[in-house]
Structure 1
Amino acid sequence: MTAQVDPVIIIGGGQSGLAAARAALDTGLRPVVLHAGAEPVGSWPDYYDSLTLFSPAGYSALPSMPFDGDPDRYPHRDEVTAYLRRYADALAVDIRTRTRAIAVHARAGGGYLVRTDAGDELPAAGVVATGSFGNPYLPTLPGQSEYGGDLRHVADYHCPDAYDGKRIVVVGAGNSAVQVAYELAPSAYVTLAAREPIRFLPQRIRGQDLHHWLRVTGGDRLPRAIITRLVRHATVLDTGRYRDAITSGRLPRRDMFTAFTPDGVLWRDGTVEQVDAVIFATGYRPDLDYLAPLATVDRGVPQQVDGISTTHPGLVYLGLEFQRSFASNTLRGVGRDAAHVMAALAAHADRRPRFFRQVRPTAPGAQRSTSPLHVDGATDGAGG
């Protein structure tokens, strides 16, 4: 009897994990997906109620399964959730829900051992660490622990109903910050606070959505080294309504406050304002605590190039911001990255380590994958 080959363990069953499972099948690997939630749809059901994709349906699908319906529409959060549910069902792979990976250890002789919160120890030929949307980033400011108002990350915001008539500060310069502030403004007193000016990209150019032009010009595929030079600030996709709201004063924008007070905030000009709630739309960080035994994460940032670990053969990443391109951590882009890292894992499984050798950095800074857009959450899960 032929011995059973250890599977590739994919940690996380959101859009990145599902794309990884598809690519694993395409390269002849046996994927097992571990997902902490009740169903493999990532964080999508938990995003705010009005969220829609920033890219049209025709540009937003994972490999091998387009969105149903009008390709020019912008699918709602619940449509994306249903789409991911169908995608997972169609994969017909081993997806273990309500199963959280808590530690990954290297095995003597190669491969890994993945420990779960159920006490299982799963041998793995390779490990795919996916996503960051389970780890919202909430910065700490002076006086924050004494603030008595409602303080939360946008990951915990759902709708404006609870904020009627209240004074709200929304922190951030990216899509979610501006969209949530705009949504709250008609029924609350809202200020948008950011460390930099709000920068806009037109949603449509010459009658076509921006993502059409990203595709035909190849902008979506520009390598990370170029993109991080070109895109150094958060940007907001806009049809004109957000810009008009800010320039007209209907949605006031101020430089970031410097500290909290017990009942509000201290603005940079020295004024104090009473504030009922502060909502941080400040992005996400890689959710990789389970890799601590491998010491492959440096100050929260994985040591990798193009999604391939520079320290541990057989370990790859998916869903990192600007992992290989502008679209890396979006529905429309993660499939390309999945194919790339799975080719590396297949080569590793065949004892062809060229993928892992070629990415070892030549300078210390090359080991750290960072994004200038982390500060204000330019990408936050809805990038299509």
Structure 2
Amino acid sequence: MEHVDVAVIGGGQSGLAAAHSLLREGLRPVILEASGQAAGSWPHYYDSLTLFSPARYSPLPGLAFGGDLDRYPHRDEVVAYLLRYAEHLDADIRTGHRVTSVRQAKEGFELDLAGGQKLGAGAVVTATGGFGRPNRPALPGLETFTGTLLHTAQYRTPVPFAGRRVVVVGAGNSAVQIAVELARAARVSLASRAPVRLFPQQPLGRDLHFWLTVTGLDSAPLGRFQRRLSTMAVIDDGHYRAALAAGRPDRRPMFTRVDGPVVTWADGAAEEVDAIILATGYRPDLGYLAPLPGALDRAGRPRHRDGTSLAHPRLAHVGLEWQRSLSSASLRGAGRDAARAARRIARQLRAR
């Protein structure tokens, strides 16, 4: 059985950043990517998605985005950037290699791959699965809905919804962005338990990420107060505020029930709708770690502190939401968390 220094599970932004940091520590990582290219989930996001941070604040370590650094790169630009980054990275990237389980072994870990292969590794970095499972809340009667029911993971473009009655559930960035986009072609309501919280994209004339960087808040360990402030805040250049004020889409309290095609609103009004889109976030999907005792909690979330497993010192995570800071799950934060994980793994392997 082949044995490697470090197996990095996932070849998206977090896996590429992890490999870069591990190489700087003198280790030889192997990236195991299930898909056919090292671009992570980006190719599967909706067509109009753009970064909320400008290009100057968004690169992975060692390679700038290039071009106008004040632009907000769209989805396809990010995909092209990640593929370019993978080409420049002197790492062993193996696409089409899906990890199905990770187990303890005498010399670290043993990984099972979907094709029946096995791989030994002195350490493991998980860089995929943090957002692997779409969250579908148990809304009353939703299972009876007879129209089109999608999670944002399945949404691509407003074209199929033209002229239809659509409800988007959620109050975060994706919910507002998709609802406003859809409202140009359909009759759309944004349904949420709490009001939409808008935050200016350029306070005092500078991009929000300039202020987060100069104050250190973007990379600071995430305290409870900071996390509460950042949760569900929608970054807005004024476009979303104007659209909501004009009722395109209109924002309503969460509906109370669904009966077949009929949605009943909090004020008692009922109407037929054609589609419901759930912009309700994701949950971790790291079932491949289940064979490792103590690696996951009962809900399937990784047990860790700042990305290092509480049960296995040579198991690290990169790219988890709220892993350590406000930016942990983003392009701009992946490099910082990856560097910390690589240093700790290098110390563990040298000690061995």
Q: What range is the shorter-chain TM-score in? A: over 0.9
Q: Are the aligned partners of 1:43 and 1:134 in contact in 2 as well (CA < 8 Å)?
A: no
1:286-317 Cα deviation digits (max 9, x unpaired):
22010111142111211101000001121111
Structure 1: which 5+ residue stretches go unaligned?
A: 353-384
- 1:172 aligned residue (170, 173, 176): 170
Q: 1:227 to 1:121 in 2, by over 3 A?
A: farther
Residue 43 of structure 1, CA deviation? 0.9
Mean Cα deviation higher: 114-123 or 90-99: 90-99
- 2:146 aligned residue (145, 148, 153): 148
Residue 258 of structure 1, CA deviation? 2.9
Counterpart residue identity of residue 342, structure 2: M
Is 1:341 aligned to 2:338, yes or no? no
Structure 2: which 5+ residue stretches go unaligned?
A: none
Tell me the SS of whatever aligns to 1:52: coil
Q: Are the aligned partners of 2:3 and 2:119 in contact in 1 as well (CA < 8 Å)?
A: no
Provide the C-alpha distance between the structure 1 equivalents of 2:167 and 2:39, rounded to a whole number of angstroms: 30
Q: 1:124 to 1:104 in 2, by over 3 A?
A: same
- 1:32 maps to 30
Counterpart residue identity of residue 204, structure 1: Q
- 2:270 maps to 272
Q: 1:263 to 1:81 in 2, by over 3 A?
A: same
Counterpart residue identity of residue 47, structure 1: Y
Residue 227 of structure 1, CA deviation? 5.3
- 2:71 maps to 73
- Corresponding residue pairs, total: 348
Counterpart residue identity of residue 198, structure 1: V
Provide the C-alpha distance between the structure 1 equivalents of 2:37 and 2:232, rounded to a whole number of angstroms: 31
Provide the C-alpha distance between the structure 1 equivalents of 2:108 and 2:258, rounded to a whole number of angstroms: 48
1:149-200 Cα deviation digits (max 9, x unpaired):
1111111111111101101011111111000000011210100011111101
Q: 1:5 to 1:147 in 2, by over 3 A?
A: closer
- 2:119 maps to 122
- 1:185 maps to 183
Q: Are the aligned partners of 1:11 and 1:129 in contact in 2 as well (CA < 8 Å)?
A: yes
Mean Cα deviation higher: 343-352 or 325-334: 343-352
Cα RMSD for the two superposed structures? 1.6
Residue 350 of structure 1, CA deviation? 1.2
Q: Are the aligned partners of 1:101 and 1:117 in contact in 2 as well (CA < 8 Å)?
A: yes
Mean Cα deviation higher: 250-259 or 196-205: 250-259
Report % sequence identity. Answer: 52
- TM-score, length-scaled by structure 2: 0.95
Counterpart residue identity of residue 118, structure 1: G
Provide the C-alpha distance between the structure 2 equivalents of 1:133 and 1:38, rounded to a whole number of angstroms: 19
Q: Are the aligned partners of 1:227 and 1:325 in contact in 2 as well (CA < 8 Å)?
A: no
Residue 39 of structure 1, CA deviation? 0.2
- 1:375 maps to none
1:262-293 Cα deviation digits (max 9, x unpaired):
11323233332211111111112222010111
